[in-house]
Amino acid sequence: MSQTKIIKTSELSWLDISFASEKELDYLRKKFKFDDADLADSLAHRHAQRPKILIRPNYIFMVIIFPIYNRKTREITPTEIDLFITSDHLISIHYNQIKPLIDFFEICAESKTERESYLSDTSIMLLYEILNRVYLTLFPMLDHLSLDINNIERNIFAHKEREMVQEILVIKRNIVYFRKIMQSHRMILSKLIRQRLNFIREDAETDILLHNLPETVQDIWETLDIYQKTIDALEDTNNALVSFKLNDIMRTLTIFSVICFPLTLMAAVFGMNVVQMPFINNTLGFWEILGLMAMASVSMYLYFRYKKWI
């Protein structure tokens, strides 16, 4: 169900729309004269969207994808936020999945001090604060990935290689998804910084703060790159240990089958239904045959021990 909330000061208004419908988009079309293509994109949350930033004559339109962690499925998935930025308005459209955005709006709505603090400057400064808060919440996700990687490393060397095969694949999937989601952020932020729009006041402080965002994204990207290399190395180590154990098992089974081969051969030979067979008329023949079998097996075992194969 769609929900529209607004907070405002004398300088700036923030309109937050969750689960936007045609009704809300029609309002934005009439009030702000936004492009129909941009409004259509802001209604396409449930479809895979390409992150973008479009500079229009009287506003900026941004589609940004952020990662969120599903605790039930242990999967990192993308969620979208669409932003319209004018000289005196910021409109955010989302599906109520980005907690730092929701919390920040509630803080500004409930506290006059916070509202006056964050909505007393330009819309670009408000945009910076929103993006910065969302980016900062990604670092705990990185910490969680780090803990998972460390746990995998401990278990690998605690002889739990088989259990770690699936765990490694889960973490690799999350890192790949995380990297894929973050890949476009540097391009979007760089384009935002390069543009100097007449309808939004630019100053030195704004420029410095905006340059902090690409640095934060770069820190996230470099951390993910380290995690990617680490989990790849752990996967190679785990596969090597699994292969070593499998080869060790196969060697043991092969040696066992070779040791048992004389028993099988002699049992087959003495099981032939022929008249002239050694030991057949001897009362102790059965035990003598068992003795020969035991001697043959022990000889094979001693030979393998001498060769240090077992």
Q: Domain boundaries in the chain?
A: 3-243, 244-306
Q: Are 39 and 63 in contact (CB under 8 A)?
A: no
pLDDT recorded at residue 289: 72
Report the chain's mean pLDDT, rounded to a whole number: 85
Which residues contact residue 54 at a Cβ distance below 8 angstroms, ignoring those fewer than 6 apart? 38, 60, 61, 62
From the candidate CATH numbers 3.30.1780.10, 3.30.460.20, 1.10.8.350, 2.40.33.20, the one assigned to the domain spanning 3-243: 3.30.460.20
DSSP string, 218-279: HHHHHHHHHHHHHHHHHHHHHHHHHHHHHHHHHHHHHHHHHHHHHHHHHHHHHTS--SS-TT
Of the two residues 211 and 133, the one the predictor is more confident about is: 133
Rounded to 10 deg, the angle between the 204-270 and 161-182 helix axes is: 150
| pLDDT tens digit sequence for 23-54 | 998 999 999 999 998 888 887 665 556 888 99
Give the closest residue to 267 by CA, choosing from 300, 293, 298. 293
pLDDT recorded at residue 233: 94
Q: Are 224 and 144 in contact (CB under 8 A)?
A: no
pLDDT recorded at residue 275: 58
Least confident of 57-61, 175-179, 275-279: 275-279
> For tokens 């090597």, what's the residue?
240
Domain spanning 244-306: CATH 1.20.58.340:
yes
β-strands 89-94, 13-18 pairing: parallel
| Phi, psi of 237, rounded to the nearest 5 degrees | -65, -45
Per-residue pLDDT at 205 exceeds 80 = no
The pTM for the full model equals 0.79
| pLDDT tens digit sequence for 210-239 | 788 999 999 999 999 999 999 999 999 998
C-alpha 240/C-alpha 246 separation (Å) is 10
C-alpha 165/C-alpha 242 separation (Å) is 9
C-alpha 250/C-alpha 185 separation (Å) is 50
Give the closest residue to 297 by CA, choosing from 267, 250, 258, 269. 258
Give the closest residue to 42 by CA, choosing from 10, 71, 2, 14. 2
C-alpha 204/C-alpha 119 separation (Å) is 18
pLDDT recorded at residue 131: 94
Over residues 276-281, the mean pLDDT reads 66
